[in-house]
């Protein structure tokens, strides 16, 4: 596939800077000069597509090179729309990222067998009881999985030593005014463990919406 864009981020004057920026239809890059405080060493790059989204037949392929000691944020101005295919014309988008520091571990190495990720957002006062319950369940679950009893009634963390890693790990955080929302982040070794977790934790929503939101 012919490249439609290329970005290179390097250090200029001691700061992360876009040193090369090329794009052609249907892709466009925007690099604002004031996306954050000048004291922060991070360059922001927005990707756009002509037509307000990915339309039928679009082929987008670009690569990003991030040199040593640089920080970059690659994002969009809003969620990207993908429009309906016309006359069976497929759309393709490919992105390749090169990190100059050869010591950086791969994503597979960082994930350490956790191949499935998911995020659930629960927002609104009607879901407060479910939010509280899922936070309590996650706290108990992770406490049980990541700690084992030790002598004297204390616990010790599982950090190796022959212990088996849990098939699913999760975390919860409140957000918004007075904690009106909760975001749940999940990483798991199998899709089945995520299915079971969501099936159990979201079952309490059935009386509100008529069906289980995940089944």
pLDDT in tens, 31-42: 988 777 778 888
Per-residue model confidence as pLDDT tens digits over 197-212: 999 998 888 887 777 7
What pLDDT, on a 0 to 100 scale, did the predictor assign at position 108? 65
Average confidence (pLDDT) over 66-83: 84
User: Using CA atoms, how far apart are residues 184 and 180, in angstroms rounded to an integer?
Assistant: 14
pLDDT for 104 beyond 70 = no
Higher pLDDT, 148 or 29: 29
Joined together, the tokens standing for residue 180 give 């009106």
Residue 147's pLDDT is: 63
- Enumerate residues 6+ apart whose C-beta is below 8 A from 59: 1, 2, 4, 91, 92
Q: Which of 60, 63, 65, 62 is nearest to 18 (CA)?
A: 65
Alpha carbon 146 to its chain centroid, in Å, reads 23
pLDDT of the residue at 166: 87
The pLDDT value given to residue 91 = 85
Q: Tens digit of pLDDT for each residue in 119-176? A: 899 988 888 999 999 999 999 998 887 665 555 555 444 455 555 788 899 999 998 8
Residue 57: per-residue pLDDT: 84
Q: Beta strand pairing status for 147-149 and 59-66?
A: unpaired
User: pTM here?
Assistant: 0.52
> Cis before residue 26, ω within 30 degrees of 0?
yes
pLDDT of residue 3: 81
Residues 6+ apart with CB under 8 A from 23: 4, 5, 6, 29, 62
């Amino acid at each position: 596939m012919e490249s439609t864009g290329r970005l290179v981020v390097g250090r200029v004057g001691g700061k992360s800077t876009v040193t090369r920026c090329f794009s052609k239809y249907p892709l466009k890059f925007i690099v604002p000069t004031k996306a954050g405080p000048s004291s922060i060493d991070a360059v922001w790059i927005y990707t756009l597509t002509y037509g307000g989204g990915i339309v039928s037949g679009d082929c987008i392929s670009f690569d990003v090179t991030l040199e040593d000691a640089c920080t970059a944020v690659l994002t969009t101005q809003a969620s990207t729309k993908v429009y309906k295919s016309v006359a069976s014309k497929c759309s393709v988008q490919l992105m390749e990222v090169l990190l100059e520091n050869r010591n950086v571990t791969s994503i597979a190495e960082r994930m350490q067998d956790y191949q499935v990720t998911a995020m659930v957002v629960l927002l609104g006062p009607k879901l407060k009881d479910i939010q509280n319950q899922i936070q309590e369940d996650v706290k108990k679950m992770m406490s049980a999985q990541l700690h084992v009893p030790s002598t004297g009634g204390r616990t010790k963390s599982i950090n190796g030593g022959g212990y088996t890693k849990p098939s699913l790990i999760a975390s919860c955080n409140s957000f918004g005014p007075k904690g009106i929302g909760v975001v749940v982040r999940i990483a798991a070794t199998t899709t089945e463990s995520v299915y079971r977790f969501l099936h159990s934790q979201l079952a309490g929503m059935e009386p509100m919406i008529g069906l289980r939101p995940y089944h």
